């Protein structure tokens, strides 16, 4: 019974197309985390309240082109927040400047 409880969420996720638990966590974001490098596109984000979510959603919309993202809060790289989309996934470093996330399972 214990085995069934542990694998049931994964099986259901595969059947109905839910992201794996790791991917879901990355999509919510990693507060106080920077993933420097591997940038292929960046843009300013003027919405201070939803900046990290806007960045995350931009990465998710890019599909397989975007593996990870980093949102840099306003005042660090200019007046506005800044979003960096990445491929492949760079290593994470602890940094209060940013919120990052990974939209794929692998890390290069």
CATH of the domain spanning 26-102:
3.50.4.10
This prediction has a pTM of 0.74
Instruction: Compute the half-sphere exposure of residue 43: CA atoms within 13 Å on the CB side of its CA.
Output: 12
Condensed to tens digits (0 to 9), the pLDDT of residues 31-46 reads 999 999 999 999 999 9
> Domain extents for the chain?
26-102
Cα 9 to Cα 15, 17, 28, 94, 106: the distances in Å are 10, 11, 19, 30, 20
- Model confidence pLDDT, tens digit, residues 48-79: 999 999 999 999 999 999 999 999 999 999 99
């Amino acid at each position: 019974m214990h085995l069934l409880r542990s694998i049931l969420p994964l099986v259901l996720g595969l059947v109905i197309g839910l992201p794996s638990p790791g991917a879901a966590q990355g999509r919510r974001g990693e507060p106080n985390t920077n993933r420097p490098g591997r940038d292929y596109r960046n843009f300013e984000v003027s919405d201070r309240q939803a900046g990290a979510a806007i960045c995350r959603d931009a990465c998710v919309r890019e599909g397989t082109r975007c593996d990870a993202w980093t949102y840099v809060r306003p005042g660090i790289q200019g007046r506005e927040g800044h979003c960096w989309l990445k491929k492949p996934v760079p290593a994470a470093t602890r940094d209060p400047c940013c919120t990052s996330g990974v939209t794929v399972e692998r890390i290069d």
